[in-house]
Structure 1
Amino acid sequence: MVHTHCHVDHFAGVRGVVRDEDVASGAVRVIGPEGFLQHAVSESVIAGTAMTRRALFMYGMLLP
């Protein structure tokens, strides 16, 4: 599994296709850029509100 960058819409669904057991056993390798975890966390903390608002428009969650 390759994570190209830390935008949540690019990595958050990985557990739907990769099991933790397969990663732990080495059957599946997870590859990402250096500092991936730190950037993903800081982006959620620092820009979380703005990104949530953007997602409301981007995914149409407020549409009837």
Structure 2
Amino acid sequence: MSSEPASDRKGNGETGITPSAGETIERHLHAALDDAENPETRFHLRQALQLVEALDDPGP
């Protein structure tokens, strides 16, 4: 069994994250961001949100 994430093993550019999974992750990150008080934590949560949004964006 490979230690690579499933998305890396596909080799076809797909992330393996379904739209509903991406929405769920985004909701959880927004909730965490709303509750976070530490500026560094908020920064990392915003970065994670940007990554999820990039995965959801089909691009050109």
Asked if TM exceeds 0.5, the reply is no
User: Could you tell me the TM-score, scaled by structure 2's length?
Assistant: 0.30
User: Could you tell me the TM-score, scaled by structure 1's length?
Assistant: 0.29
